[in-house]
Amino acid sequence: MSDEWKSLADRVAAHAQNYLDGLTRLAGGEGGDAILPMLLVEVSQVSLAGSQLGAAEDVILQGNFEPATGPDPDLDGVRTALATRLGEVDDYAEVFDPYKDTVVTPYRLSDDLAAVAADLVHGLGHYRAGRPLEALWWWQFSYFNTWGNHAGAAMRALQALVAHARLDVVEESTIA
Protein backbone atom coordinates (compact mmCIF):
# COMPACT_ATOMS: atom_id res chain seq x y z
CA MET A 1 0.00 0.00 0.00
CA SER A 2 1.45 3.34 -1.01
CA ASP A 3 2.05 6.16 1.43
CA GLU A 4 -0.49 8.23 -0.51
CA TRP A 5 -3.25 5.63 0.02
CA LYS A 6 -2.29 5.24 3.69
CA SER A 7 -2.43 9.02 4.18
CA LEU A 8 -5.87 9.19 2.54
CA ALA A 9 -7.12 6.29 4.67
CA ASP A 10 -5.87 8.01 7.82
CA ARG A 11 -7.59 11.30 6.87
CA VAL A 12 -10.89 9.66 5.96
CA ALA A 13 -10.83 7.56 9.15
CA ALA A 14 -10.32 10.71 11.22
CA HIS A 15 -13.20 12.48 9.44
CA ALA A 16 -15.41 9.41 9.83
CA GLN A 17 -14.72 9.11 13.56
CA ASN A 18 -15.24 12.83 14.10
CA TYR A 19 -18.58 12.63 12.26
CA LEU A 20 -19.73 9.63 14.32
CA ASP A 21 -18.67 11.25 17.59
CA GLY A 22 -20.31 14.57 16.71
CA LEU A 23 -23.51 12.95 15.51
CA THR A 24 -23.76 10.86 18.67
CA ARG A 25 -23.19 13.88 20.91
CA LEU A 26 -25.77 15.98 19.02
CA ALA A 27 -28.31 13.14 19.11
CA GLY A 28 -27.69 12.93 22.86
CA GLY A 29 -28.63 16.56 23.39
CA GLU A 30 -25.35 18.43 23.16
CA GLY A 31 -25.47 21.59 21.14
CA GLY A 32 -28.87 22.63 22.49
CA ASP A 33 -30.64 25.00 20.13
CA ALA A 34 -27.60 25.09 17.84
CA ILE A 35 -28.24 21.54 16.60
CA LEU A 36 -28.92 22.61 13.00
CA PRO A 37 -25.75 24.63 12.43
CA MET A 38 -23.73 22.01 14.31
CA LEU A 39 -25.14 19.23 12.11
CA LEU A 40 -24.32 21.38 9.07
CA VAL A 41 -20.70 21.54 10.26
CA GLU A 42 -20.55 17.77 10.83
CA VAL A 43 -21.98 16.94 7.40
CA SER A 44 -19.80 19.52 5.66
CA GLN A 45 -16.64 18.19 7.26
CA VAL A 46 -17.34 14.56 6.39
CA SER A 47 -18.27 15.66 2.85
CA LEU A 48 -14.71 16.94 2.51
CA ALA A 49 -13.54 13.36 3.03
CA GLY A 50 -16.05 12.20 0.45
CA SER A 51 -14.84 14.71 -2.11
CA GLN A 52 -11.28 13.45 -1.58
CA LEU A 53 -12.49 9.90 -2.22
CA GLY A 54 -14.32 11.09 -5.33
CA ALA A 55 -11.20 12.82 -6.64
CA ALA A 56 -8.96 9.80 -6.00
CA GLU A 57 -8.47 7.09 -8.58
CA ASP A 58 -10.62 4.01 -8.11
CA VAL A 59 -9.56 1.78 -5.25
CA ILE A 60 -9.40 -1.80 -6.50
CA LEU A 61 -9.05 -4.66 -4.04
CA GLN A 62 -6.81 -7.57 -4.90
CA GLY A 63 -9.08 -10.39 -5.96
CA ASN A 64 -11.97 -7.92 -5.93
CA PHE A 65 -12.96 -9.29 -2.50
CA GLU A 66 -14.03 -7.45 0.67
CA PRO A 67 -13.23 -9.37 3.87
CA ALA A 68 -15.99 -9.54 6.46
CA THR A 69 -15.82 -6.99 9.27
CA GLY A 70 -18.36 -8.56 11.58
CA PRO A 71 -21.64 -6.98 12.55
CA ASP A 72 -21.86 -3.20 12.31
CA PRO A 73 -23.16 -1.38 15.37
CA ASP A 74 -26.86 -0.60 15.49
CA LEU A 75 -27.32 3.11 14.82
CA ASP A 76 -31.10 3.13 15.18
CA GLY A 77 -30.87 4.78 18.60
CA VAL A 78 -28.90 7.67 17.12
CA ARG A 79 -31.36 7.95 14.22
CA THR A 80 -34.36 7.93 16.55
CA ALA A 81 -32.81 10.47 18.92
CA LEU A 82 -32.01 12.76 15.97
CA ALA A 83 -35.58 12.43 14.67
CA THR A 84 -36.89 13.45 18.08
CA ARG A 85 -34.51 16.40 18.36
CA LEU A 86 -35.22 17.58 14.81
CA GLY A 87 -38.99 17.30 15.20
CA GLU A 88 -40.94 18.93 12.39
CA VAL A 89 -37.84 19.85 10.36
CA ASP A 90 -36.81 16.19 10.06
CA ASP A 91 -38.94 15.75 6.92
CA TYR A 92 -37.93 17.50 3.69
CA ALA A 93 -38.11 17.05 -0.08
CA GLU A 94 -35.21 16.42 -2.45
CA VAL A 95 -34.54 15.52 -6.08
CA PHE A 96 -32.56 12.28 -5.75
CA ASP A 97 -30.61 12.51 -8.99
CA PRO A 98 -31.05 15.77 -10.91
CA TYR A 99 -29.67 14.18 -14.10
CA LYS A 100 -31.74 11.00 -14.16
CA ASP A 101 -34.75 11.57 -11.93
CA THR A 102 -36.45 14.93 -11.54
CA VAL A 103 -39.22 13.64 -9.27
CA VAL A 104 -39.24 15.19 -5.81
CA THR A 105 -38.74 12.52 -3.14
CA PRO A 106 -39.54 12.78 0.58
CA TYR A 107 -36.51 12.42 2.84
CA ARG A 108 -35.74 12.58 6.56
CA LEU A 109 -32.64 14.25 7.88
CA SER A 110 -32.37 11.67 10.65
CA ASP A 111 -32.38 8.84 8.07
CA ASP A 112 -29.79 10.58 5.89
CA LEU A 113 -27.46 11.33 8.79
CA ALA A 114 -27.71 7.74 10.08
CA ALA A 115 -27.16 6.29 6.58
CA VAL A 116 -23.93 8.27 6.28
CA ALA A 117 -22.88 7.04 9.72
CA ALA A 118 -23.64 3.41 8.84
CA ASP A 119 -21.40 3.47 5.76
CA LEU A 120 -18.62 5.27 7.60
CA VAL A 121 -18.67 2.89 10.57
CA HIS A 122 -18.46 -0.12 8.23
CA GLY A 123 -15.29 1.31 6.68
CA LEU A 124 -13.90 2.03 10.14
CA GLY A 125 -14.28 -1.69 10.88
CA HIS A 126 -11.83 -2.46 8.06
CA TYR A 127 -9.54 0.40 9.06
CA ARG A 128 -9.36 -0.71 12.72
CA ALA A 129 -8.73 -4.30 11.64
CA GLY A 130 -5.56 -3.10 9.92
CA ARG A 131 -7.02 -3.14 6.40
CA PRO A 132 -6.84 0.50 5.28
CA LEU A 133 -7.09 -0.37 1.58
CA GLU A 134 -10.34 -2.27 2.19
CA ALA A 135 -11.57 0.71 4.23
CA LEU A 136 -10.78 3.07 1.36
CA TRP A 137 -12.47 0.77 -1.12
CA TRP A 138 -15.62 0.62 1.02
CA TRP A 139 -15.72 4.35 1.74
CA GLN A 140 -15.21 5.20 -1.94
CA PHE A 141 -17.74 2.63 -3.19
CA SER A 142 -20.37 3.62 -0.63
CA TYR A 143 -19.68 7.34 -1.18
CA PHE A 144 -20.65 6.97 -4.84
CA ASN A 145 -23.56 4.62 -4.09
CA THR A 146 -25.16 5.90 -0.88
CA TRP A 147 -23.54 8.15 1.66
CA GLY A 148 -22.40 10.85 -0.75
CA ASN A 149 -25.96 11.42 -1.92
CA HIS A 150 -27.36 11.32 1.61
CA ALA A 151 -24.69 13.73 2.87
CA GLY A 152 -25.28 16.10 -0.03
CA ALA A 153 -29.05 16.07 0.42
CA ALA A 154 -28.73 16.56 4.17
CA MET A 155 -26.24 19.38 3.68
CA ARG A 156 -28.62 21.21 1.30
CA ALA A 157 -31.53 20.77 3.72
CA LEU A 158 -29.48 21.86 6.73
CA GLN A 159 -28.07 24.86 4.88
CA ALA A 160 -31.61 25.90 3.92
CA LEU A 161 -32.81 25.56 7.53
CA VAL A 162 -29.88 27.58 8.88
CA ALA A 163 -30.35 30.22 6.18
CA HIS A 164 -34.08 30.50 6.95
CA ALA A 165 -33.34 30.86 10.67
CA ARG A 166 -30.90 33.68 9.96
CA LEU A 167 -32.65 35.47 7.10
CA ASP A 168 -36.37 35.00 7.75
CA VAL A 169 -36.49 37.27 10.80
CA VAL A 170 -39.14 39.74 11.79
CA GLU A 171 -37.86 43.25 11.40
CA GLU A 172 -37.15 44.77 14.79
CA SER A 173 -39.05 47.88 15.61
CA THR A 174 -37.17 50.72 17.23
CA ILE A 175 -38.52 53.17 19.69
CA ALA A 176 -37.46 56.72 18.93
The CATH number covering residue 35 comes to: 1.20.120.1550
Position 45 scores a pLDDT of: 96
DSSP the chain: --HHHHHHHHHHHHHHHHHHHHHHHHHTTTTGGGHHHHHHHHHHHHHHHHHHHHHSPPP--GGG-PPP--PPPP-HHHHHHHHHHHGGGSEEEEEEETTTEEEEEEEEHHHHHHHHHHHHHHHHHHHHTT-HHHHHHHHHHHIIIIIHHHHHHHHHHHHHHHHHHHHS-PPPP---
Whole-angstrom CA distances from 24 to 19, 65, 82, 141 are 8, 31, 9, 24
Of 3-12, 39-48, 151-160, 165-174, minimum mean pLDDT range: 165-174
The answer to whether residue 61 is domain-embedded is: yes
The answer to whether residue 172 is domain-embedded is: no
The answer to whether residue 19 is domain-embedded is: yes
The answer to whether residue 175 is domain-embedded is: no
The answer to whether residue 82 is domain-embedded is: yes
The answer to whether residue 176 is domain-embedded is: no
Task: Yes or no: say if 123 and 12 are a contact pair by the CB < 8 Å rule.
Answer: yes
The answer to whether residue 127 is domain-embedded is: yes
How large a percentage of the chain has pLDDT more than 70? 93
The answer to whether residue 7 is domain-embedded is: yes
For the chain, the domain total comes to 1
Of 51-60, 82-91, 139-148, minimum mean pLDDT range: 51-60
Domain that holds residue 12: 3-167
Position 117 scores a pLDDT of: 97
Position 166 scores a pLDDT of: 85
Q: What is the mean pLDDT of residues 147-155?
A: 95
Task: Yes or no: say if 93 and 107 are a contact pair by the CB < 8 Å rule.
Answer: yes
- Full-model pTM: 0.88
